Structure 1
Amino acid sequence: MISIYKSTNEANPKLLPLDSIEPGCWINMVAPSEQEILFVSKKTNVPVEFLKSALDEEESSRIDIEDNNILMILDIPFTEMEENSLTYDTYPLAIIHTEKEIITICLKNSKLLNDFVDANIRSFYTFKRSRFILQVLYRVSSYFLVCLRQIDKKSWMIQKQLHKSMSNKVLMQLLSLQNSLVYFSTSLKSNEITLEKMIKLEIMQKYEEDKELLEDVIIENKQAIEMTNMYTHILSATMDASANVISNNLNLVMKLLATVTIVISIPNIFSGIFGMNVKGLPLSELPPGPGFLIVMSLILTTTIISVIYLNKKNMF
């Protein structure tokens, strides 16, 4: 899908949709087809390889320059629903700076870019291409921070559930959040390298405001990295604690079963001995009634003594 937009004059800025590509416009491509890629490449003189770069989910963050076209690829956060639970992942976003246009390509429709379409970004103009790139980068870092705060809140909710139940579902939710933080950490560190390289680009050196904005973007990205590392350590500690609790609960159950087995085996021992069909057993000369009572008394007394002893040893 291709959407083309262009800002009006700075006095009364509005973002207008266009039917054709014009100088100063913004071309937003979401999961474009082969025909759409060839069409944009022909109209803007951008290499096809640049336009296809963001269509690979495993594409890493980088900067590439060919002729007058500058390709920037960054990983951006996405939220998805999986088994009635919110999960987090990252996908590459390509931003291409040409002589006359700005092009963005992504595999999925991003809320990040929709903020620009819905006019939620102040001082946004499609013809200010370098400023537009920096505004996108700032939104990327901001969205990472928003997702990280959501992950933190969700992890606290899951930890409260762990106090009540150690179900597999709850543990899998915690593992899913831990995996999301791993994806975020990898993407943010890759973005950091790309942002450091952007400082050396001439298009970022023209205006002092752009330099300051780029510095703010780098600071936001570093803050996101620190938050990711902190939440990763917290979740790792929670997973380790959960594993220890599960192991401890299993040990308690096994200890209780062993204790019950010992107590139950006492009557079996007496009944096995006095139930043997041989001569010379103790109490064998007594009548059945008194002999039975004596044996039962021995069983009961031995069982009670065993229970008291095991209880002192904290076996119950």
Structure 2
Amino acid sequence: MLTVTPVTPHLNWINVQNPTSEETIKLVTQYQVTDEMLAYAIDPDERARVEADPRANITLLIFDVYCVPDDDAESQTAPIGIMFTNDNLITFTTEQTNFVTELLEEQVDHKSDTQHINDQIDLVLPMLYQLSTDYFAPIRQADSQRVEIQRSLERRTDRKAIAAFVNLETGLIYILTSLRGNVSLLKDLKRRSRNLTTQQTNDLDDVLIEAEQGLEMATMTSNIIERISNAYSKVLDSNLNNTMRFLTIYSIVLTIPSIVFGFFGQNVHLPFESSPIGWELTIMVMLVLAVLTMWLLMNNHWWRK
């Protein structure tokens, strides 16, 4: 779908969503978009970065946005394309990132007075600011979930809580990767944009500050979750080791009756075989050997190693 919205007499906003082959041809022939830039813009796996084509006078921003997951799904991010041409601002979205279109529509309506729109960047920077701050809510939510899981672990350590920690950490990986790419993109854009006005430079700095703040928040939360998860994993491993040591001692002790009573299956003379209390004496010998074996293992501190 391709939608053209006039913003000023010299600027059009073109929103592209899942373009057909006819629409891609129209972008190339009518709006002078190069095939290479178009391929970058519609690639759903493209990483966040700035791409420029000086010959065609095209600058493309690939910016990762946070997408609200459905139900209990993991946090997800997806790229959007923002292309600057001579007379057009072109955005590339999908069904998943279509909410970006609404943000830009708000900016167009808010700055309907043409005196407030001097360049495409005047529309894009406020939108990037909002998209950067959208990462704060899921990061805070992940930290809140971390606190709840940690409290439950203090009462009882189980693998279900550890799995919840792993899911949180997985969701934060998407956020961390996207925020790192966005911060790198904004720094690169600032380095390339030497003709910005003072206000535009300040707006770009504000976006960069918010993106860096989100990156710091996500990094701190991810580090805390990782360390807590590792700590409780070690506790579970220690408990498992203790259980295995107990079972090992138990199995060693249980072999003693088998060894003692196994001799009675042999056709040889055995002690106490003629005694009226031979059976009781044999059981006593077995118990003494079992207790002695357990005592030796316990006092050798093997249990605590």
TM-score bracket relative to the smaller structure: 0.7 to 0.9
Deviation at 1:161, TM superposition (A): 5.7
- Shift in alpha-carbon separation, 1:249–1:115, aligned structure 2, 3 A: farther
Note the C-alpha offset of 1:158.
4.6
2:282 to 290, 295, 309: 295
Q: 1:70 to 1:300 in 2, by over 3 A?
A: closer
SS in 1 for 2:132: helix
Name the residue aligned to 1:135.
Answer: 126
- C-alpha distance in 2 between matches for 1:38 and 1:154: 48
Match of 1:18?
none
Aligned-partner SS, 2:134: helix
In structure 2, the partner of 1:86 is 73
Q: Is 1:64 matched with 2:52?
A: yes
Paired residue secondary structure (2:267): coil
Task: Give the 5 Å matches for 1:151-300.
Answer: 151-159=142-150, 163-167=156-160, 171=162, 173-200=164-191, 205-206=196-197, 208-279=198-269, 281-287=270-276, 290-300=277-287
- Counterparts of 2:17 and 2:273 in 1: how far apart (Å)? 93
User: How far is 1:113 from its partner?
Assistant: 1.0
What is the match of residue 23 of structure 2?
Answer: 36
* Residues 107 and 123 in structure 2, CA contact (< 8 A), matched pair in contact too: no
What is the Cα deviation at residue 219 of structure 1? Answer: 0.7
Q: Distance in 1 between matches of 2:296 and 2:111?
A: 79
Distance 1:278 1:310 in 2: 32
Tell me the CA shift for residue 117 of structure 1: 6.2
Normalized against structure 2, the TM-score is what? 0.79
The aligned residue for residue 2 of structure 1 is 2
Q: Distance in 2 between matches of 1:118 and 1:130?
A: 14
How far does the alpha carbon of each residue in 1:140-185 deviate from its partner, in whole angstroms, 9 at most, with x for none? 2112223322333344445456544214xx5555444434433433
> 1:122 and 1:304, CA in 2 relative to 1: closer, same or farther beyond 3 A?
farther
Q: How far did 1:121 drift?
A: 9.4
Q: What's the CA shift string for 1:175-205, capped at 9, x where partnerless?
A: 4443443343333233223212323555862
Q: Is the 8 A contact 1:28 1:103 kept in 2?
A: yes
Q: Contact (CA 8 Å) 1:70, 1:98: kept in 2 or not?
A: yes
Q: How many residues in Structure 1 have an aligned counterpart in Structure 2?
A: 295
Matched residue of 1:95: which SS?
Answer: strand
Structure 2: which 5+ residue stretches go unaligned? Answer: none
Q: Are residue 113 (structure 1) and residue 108 (structure 2) matched?
A: no
The aligned residue for residue 12 of structure 1 is none
Find the aligned partners of 2:292 and 2:173 in 1 and give their Cα distance.
Answer: 56
Question: What are the ranges of 5 or more consecutive residues in structure 1 without an aligned counterpart?
Answer: 9-21
Residue aligned with 1:28, SS: strand
In the alignment, the residues of structure 1 paired with residue 278 and residue 121 of structure 2 have an alpha-carbon distance, to the nearest angstrom, of 102
Query: Match of 1:136, as an amino acid?
Result: M
- Of stretches 104-113 and 172-181 in structure 1, the one that deviates more from structure 2 is 172-181
- Percent identity among equivalent residues? 25
